[in-house]
Amino acid sequence: MRVIVIERPGFGVSDFQPNRCVIDWPGDVVEVADALGLDSFAVAGSSGGGPCVAACAYALPGRVRVARMMGVVAPLDIPGVRDGMSVRRRLLYRTLPLAPYAVPLLRMMGQSGIHRAMSDDVPECDRRILERIREPYKASKVEAFRQGFRGFAFELALGSRPWGFPLEAIRVPVHIWHGELDVSTPIAMGRALAEAIPTSRPRFFPAFGHFLSYEVWPEILSTLAAT
Give the Cα separation of 185 and 180 in Å (integer): 10
What pLDDT, on a 0 to 100 scale, did the predictor assign at position 220?
87
Return the SS3 of 208: coil
Q: In 3D, which of 76, 101, 206 has the Cα closest to residue 153?
A: 101
pLDDT greater than 90 at residue 68: yes
Looking at residue 1, its pLDDT comes to 85
What pLDDT is attached to residue 112? 85
Tell me the domain boundaries of the chain.
22-225
The rounded distance, in Å, linking the Cα atoms of 141 and 147 is 11
What backbone torsions phi and psi does residue 21 show, to the nearest 5 degrees? -120, 165
Residue 226, pLDDT > 90, answer no
Find out whether 209 and 95 touch, Cβ atoms under 8 Å: no
Picking from 20-29, 63-72, 190-199, 212-221, which range would have the lowest pLDDT averaged per residue?
212-221
Report the pLDDT averaged over residues 14-37.
95
| Mean of pLDDT over the chain | 93
Q: Cβ-count burial of 109 within 10 angstroms (0-12 exposed, 13-18 middle, 19+ buried)?
A: middle
Distance CA 227, CA 127 (A): 33
Rounded Cα distance between 153 and 27, Å, is: 21
Cα four-point dihedral sign 94, 163, 170, 24: negative
pLDDT tens by residue, 138-156? 899 999 999 999 999 999 9
Predicted pLDDT at 115: 82
Q: Which amino acid is at 29?
A: V
φ, ψ of residue 184 to 5 degrees: the values are -80, -50
d(CA 68, CA 151): 24
Q: Please count the residues of the chain.
A: 227
When pLDDT is cut at 50, 70 and 90, the band that residue 76 belongs to is very high
d(CA 173, CA 65): 7
- Calculate the CA 161 to chain-centre distance: 14
- What is the average pLDDT across 73-83? 93
- With a cut of 90, say whether residue 50 has pLDDT above it: yes
Which SS3 state, helix, strand or coil, does residue 93 take?
helix
Q: Is the pLDDT of residue 227 over 80?
A: no
Please indicate whether residue 217 or residue 56 has the higher confidence score (pLDDT).
56
Residue type, 98: L
> In the predicted model, is pLDDT for residue 19 greater than 90?
no
Domain spanning 22-225: CATH 3.40.50.1820: yes
**Do 107 and 149 meet the contact criterion of CB atoms below 8 Å apart?**
yes
The pLDDT value recorded for residue 204 is 97
What's the pLDDT score for residue 42? 95
The predicted model gives 41-58 an average pLDDT of: 96
- Beta pairing partners, 205: 179
Could you give the angle at which helices 103-119 and 150-160 cross, rounded to 10 degrees? 70
